[in-house]
Amino acid sequence: MPNFSDRVERISISGIREVFEAAGDDAINLGLGQPDFPTPDHARQAAIDAIEAGKADAYTENKGTRSLREAIAEKHRTDQGIDLDPSNVIATAGGSEALHIALEAHVDAGDEVLIPDPGFVSYDALTKLTGGEPVPVPLRDDLTIDPAAIEAAITDDTVAFVVNSPGNPTGAVSSEEDVREFARIADEHDVLCISDEVYEYTVFEGEHYSPMEFTETDNVVVINSASKLFSMTGWRLGWVYGSEERVERMLRVHQYAQACASAPAQYAAEAALRGDHGVVDEMTASFERRRDLLLDGFDEIGIDCPTPQGAFYAMPRVPEGFVDECLDRGVVVVPGEAFGEHGRGHARISYATDESELREALDVMADAYEAAK
């Protein structure tokens, strides 16, 4: 066997794709983590224009074009009142790369990183790639991230904790009070809070808050992305921002691993940020209708599910065997344990699919539930 790094041997390819493939082409797929809307026309057109004008042929600045970073800074000023210097933003290959460079720049072998459990799969894998130790922190019963549980899990080896609101796989949205606590914990314990806000625009009840609004130190970095904000998952354009010093360290990783984010995608994302947000409102309204449809269906079946307040995921409590019974009947849902040990006993259901398919899937889930319970 060739020699592989111990770090890469600690992680494996996510099994979720294999489940999709095994389920066949005519299955109803409630496993996908992307909006089912087209990228806004003005974003597509901006990329076309940039390509035709020859503006997208060359490397951009390592951090991304100045005008994209200005649009990102403007966005955070408008949405959260954050005074962000465009020099302290790095445009990345999606939120995925943003998470990678944030962890790579801050975590050493043996350092502990607290991650939500259940939580997005990359937190565990990317921490392991740095040589660090992911420490899963269980959620509350309503699937929100519990600041007290984070604070209790901090040890001398903890260098960072990850929070994610609205959350994948839970759809949970953190309250202002909890987000203030995240900032306080980062400040008081002098640990980095990595705040993954890629679902920021998909909030049904209440508002989105960022710990960056409340921190009194430089202990917060924010991850965001055009992927879910503007239905641009294929474009691979995200960003990270933080203090000048932290950005300089993250840029060292980004510069050697990536050089710069794809130029056409930068132009498209800038247009999405600066352009009409009507599409975003439409998407959110549509996800909310589908969430309600799904929850009503669960109610009828007798499935217990904390009410998701954002993103496009629900995480009901399901009996053992439910996921397989769904798969056998042609509906793909993801077992909760794919997102951490505490996800066991749940399934993640993505409702980024049309309402008629959702209704069909609910009929199937009713049968699957009867068979499994």
Which position's Cβ is nearest ligand PLP? 94
Cα distances (angstroms) measured from residue 25 to each of 22, 223, 329, 364 = 9, 34, 13, 17
DSSP for 351-367, please give it.
--S-HHHHHHHHHHHHH
* Residue 64 binds ligand PLP (CB under 6 A): no
Query: From the list 198, 229, 347, 365, which residue makes contact with ligand PLP (rule: CB under 6 A)?
Result: 198
CB of 232 to ligand PLP, least distance (A): 8
136 binds ligand PLP (CB under 6 A): no
- Asked if residue 258 binds ligand PLP (CB under 6 A), the reply is no
Q: How far is CA 133 from CA 97, 149, 161, 196, 208, in A?
A: 19, 17, 11, 19, 29
CB of 219 to ligand PLP, least distance (A): 20
Residue 126 or 362: the one with the smaller Cβ distance to ligand PLP is: 126
227 binds ligand PLP (CB under 6 A): yes
Angle between helices 278-301 and 355-372 in degrees, nearest 10: 30
Pairing of strands 89-92, 112-117: unpaired
Residue whose CB is less far from ligand PLP, 271 or 334: 334
- The answer to the question of residue 225 lying near ligand PLP (CB under 6 A) is yes
CA neighbor of 169 nearest in space, from 325, 304, 350, 296: 350
Q: How far is CA 267 from CA 68, 77, 226, 239, in A?
A: 7, 20, 12, 14
Q: How far is the CB of 306 from ligand PLP (least distance, A)?
A: 17
Q: How far is the CB of 258 from ligand PLP (least distance, A)?
A: 13
Q: What is the residue whose two structure tokens read 């490397």?
A: 59
Look at residues 204, 170, 167, 171 and name the one whose alpha carbon lies nearest to residue 182: 167
Count the residues of the shown chain that bind ligand PLP, applying the rule CB under 6 A. 13
- Sheet arrangement for strand 238-241: 89-92, 238-241, 220-225, 192-196, 158-164, 112-117, 133-138
Instruction: Select from 6-14, 88-96, 273-281, 353-361 the region that touches ligand PLP (CB under 6 A).
Output: 88-96
Mask: binding to ligand PLP, 149-178, rule CB under 6 A, as x and -?
---------------x---x----------
Contact with ligand PLP (CB under 6 A) among 31, 35, 95, 275: 95
Exactly one of 62, 67, 175, 233 binds ligand PLP (CB under 6 A); which one?
Answer: 233
Residues that bind ligand PLP (CB under 6 A): 33, 94-96, 120, 164, 168, 196, 198, 225, 227, 233, 238
